[in-house]
C-alpha cells in the first residue's frame, strides 16, 4: 500500500501534467484565434498593398466602333453588382522585337502553310504571299509578331461546297491541332486552349451561323487562351478566338482550310504584379456613360439589354501593349458583351475615353 507521502507526490505530478496539457490547449486555441481574426481577415489582407511592380501601365486601347443607342438594365441574380475583390494580377505579354531574320522566319512559316513565292511588301512589317496552285489564296502576315490571315477563294471551285464531308467536333479538334503542328505554331498553351466549334453557311457574301451540321457548308473552330487564375481570356470579339479556322468539307487536304486567323502571343506567367481594380459598381457606371467598350451588341434589335453576369477576365487584344490586362465583363442577353478596363485610373499612364 502506498504511503500518504507517495500518494501526495503522485497527485502533485498528475496536477502538473494536467496543468501543462491545459496550457498547451489554451496556447493552440489562442493561436487559432489570432490567425482567424487577424491574419486571414479581409482587413489584414487589405493592409498588404498591391505590388504594382510594373509601375504605371498603358491604358487599354479598345477598337473604335459605332453602335446604336443602348439602354442597359442591371438584372443579375443578386439584383446588384458583385464584389470582385480589390486587386488582380497583371502578367507580362511582351511584344516580339524586330530582327534581321524576321522576314526569313516569316518565309519559313509561309512555306509550311503552302506559300513558296516571294512575298509583296505592304508595310515595313506586313507582307503578302499569293498561291494559285489549288485555290486562289492569299496569306498576309505581320513578320514581327507572327500574326496572319489566310484566305482561299473557294468560290473558284464548286466542289468545295458539293463535297460535304464536314468533320464532326472531335475530328475538327484533331484538324486544328494538325494545322498548328504542320505550321510549326503549336505551343503548350495552345495545346490546352479552349476550342469552340460551330457550323456555318455562306449567304449573301458572308458566313452565317448554321442551325445544324446537316445544313452547314463549313465548320469554324475558335481557340481561346486557357483560363489564367480561373479567369477567362476574351478577345476584341468574344466569339472569335486568338486562333480561328474555317474548314470546308473537301476531300483534298489543300482545300480543307479555307480561312485562318492567327493572333496568338505567349504570356510570361513568371513575371507578374498585382494592381488595384475598380469596383463592379464603378465599372457599371462607366459602361452606362459610354466609357467602356461594347464588344458585341448581340441579337438585341430593340436596343434594350439586360445584364445578367459581371465578372473579371483578361483582355486578349490582337496587338499587345506589353501586358495581359484585366477587364470587367458585362454579359447580357442574346450574346451581349461589354468591357470596362479594370485597373484603377491612378495606375494607368494614358486614359482612353472609350467608344460605345
Q: Tell me: the pLDDT tens digits for 60-98?
A: 999 987 777 899 999 999 999 999 999 999 999 987 777
Q: Residue 44: what pLDDT?
A: 47
Cell 446604336 sits on residue: 68
CA separation for the pair 156, 167 (Å, rounded): 22
CA separation for the pair 218, 199 (Å, rounded): 6
* pLDDT range class, residue 10, cuts 50, 70, 90: low
Q: Residue 33: what pLDDT?
A: 57
Q: Residue 9: what pLDDT?
A: 58
**3-state class of 129 per DSSP?**
strand
Q: Residue 43: what pLDDT?
A: 47
Q: Residue 4: what pLDDT?
A: 41
Q: Residue 95: what pLDDT?
A: 79
Whether 35 shows a pLDDT value over 70: the answer reads no
Q: Residue 275: what pLDDT?
A: 98
Whether 25 shows a pLDDT value over 90: the answer reads no
What are the backbone angles phi and psi of residue 268, rounded to the nearest 5°?
-90, 95
Give tens-digit pLDDT for 132-183: 888 999 999 999 999 999 999 999 988 888 877 888 889 999 999 999 999 9
In 3D space, the residue among 276, 283, 281, 273 whose CA is nearest the CA of residue 328 turns out to be 283
| Average pLDDT of the segment spanning 292-310 | 94
Q: Residue 352: what pLDDT?
A: 46
Q: Residue 356: what pLDDT?
A: 54
Whether 328 shows a pLDDT value over 90: the answer reads yes
Whether 327 shows a pLDDT value over 60: the answer reads yes
Angle at the Cα of 6 from the Cα atoms of 5 and 9, rounded to 5 degrees: 90
DSSP H or E segment with residue 107: helix 102-112
* pLDDT range class, residue 253, cuts 50, 70, 90: confident
Q: Residue 228: what pLDDT?
A: 95
Q: How many CA atoms lie within 13 A of 82 on its CB side?
A: 14
Whether 351 shows a pLDDT value over 60: the answer reads no
Q: Where are the domains of the chain?
A: 4-46, 71-94+269-347, 102-268
Number of C-beta neighbours around residue 117 at 10 A = 14
Q: Residue 160: what pLDDT?
A: 87
Mean predicted lDDT score pLDDT of the chain: 87
Q: Residue 266: what pLDDT?
A: 92
Q: List Cα–Cα distances, 324 to 258, 263, 288, 351, in angstroms.
A: 30, 14, 25, 17
Contact 122, 106 (CB under 8 A): no
Whether 232 shows a pLDDT value over 50: the answer reads yes
Q: Residue 167: what pLDDT?
A: 87
Pairing mode, strands 87-93 and 120-121: unpaired
Q: Given 2.60.120, 1.10.4030, 2.60.40, 2.40.128, which CATH number is that of 71-94+269-347? A: 2.40.128
Amino acid at each position: 500500500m502506498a504511503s500518504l507521502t507517495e500518494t501526495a507526490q503522485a497527485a502533485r505530478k498528475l496536477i502538473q501534467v494536467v496543468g501543462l496539457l491545459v496550457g498547451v490547449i489554451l496556447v493552440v486555441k489562442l493561436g487559432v484565434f489570432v490567425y482567424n481574426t487577424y491574419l486571414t481577415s479581409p482587413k489584414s489582407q487589405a493592409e498588404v498593398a498591391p505590388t504594382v511592380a510594373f509601375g504605371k501601365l498603358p491604358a487599354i486601347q479598345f477598337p473604335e466602333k459605332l453602335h446604336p443607342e443602348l439602354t442597359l438594365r442591371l438584372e443579375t441574380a443578386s439584383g446588384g453588382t458583385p464584389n470582385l475583390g480589390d486587386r488582380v494580377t497583371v502578367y507580362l505579354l511582351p511584344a516580339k522585337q524586330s530582327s534581321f531574320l524576321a522576314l526569313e522566319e516569316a518565309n519559313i512559316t509561309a512555306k509550311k502553310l503552302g506559300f513558296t513565292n516571294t512575298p509583296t511588301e505592304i508595310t515595313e512589317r506586313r507582307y503578302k504571299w499569293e498561291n494559285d496552285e489549288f485555290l486562289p489564296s492569299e496569306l498576309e502576315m505581320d513578320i514581327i509578331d507572327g500574326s496572319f490571315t489566310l484566305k482561299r477563294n473557294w468560290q473558284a471551285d464548286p466542289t468545295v461546297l458539293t463535297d460535304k464531308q464536314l468533320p464532326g467536333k472531335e475530328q475538327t479538334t484533331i484538324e486544328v491541332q494538325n494545322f498548328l503542328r504542320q505550321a510549326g505554331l503549336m505551343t503548350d498553351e495552345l495545346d490546352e486552349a479552349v476550342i469552340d466549334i460551330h457550323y456555318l453557311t455562306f449567304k449573301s457574301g458572308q458566313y452565317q451561323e448554321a442551325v445544324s451540321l446537316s445544313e452547314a457548308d463549313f465548320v469554324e473552330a475558335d481557340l481561346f487562351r486557357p483560363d489564367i487564375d480561373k479567369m477567362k481570356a476574351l478577345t476584341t470579339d468574344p466569339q472569335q478566338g486568338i486562333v480561328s479556322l474555317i474548314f470546308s468539307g473537301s476531300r483534298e487536304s489543300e482545300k480543307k482550310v479555307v480561312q485562318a486567323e492567327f493572333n496568338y502571343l505567349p504570356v510570361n506567367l513568371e513575371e507578374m504584379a498585382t494592381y488595384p481594380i475598380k469596383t463592379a459598381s464603378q465599372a457599371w457606371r462607366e459602361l452606362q456613360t459610354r466609357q467602356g467598350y461594347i464588344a458585341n451588341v448581340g441579337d438585341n434589335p430593340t436596343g434594350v439589354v439586360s445584364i445578367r453576369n459581371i465578372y473579371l477576365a483578361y483582355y486578349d487584344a490582337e496587338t499587345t501593349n506589353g501586358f495581359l490586362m484585366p477587364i470587367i465583363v458585362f454579359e447580357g442577353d442574346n450574346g451581349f458583351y461589354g468591357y470596362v478596363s479594370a485597373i484603377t485610373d491612378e495606375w494607368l499612364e494614358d486614359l482612353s475615353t472609350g467608344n460605345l
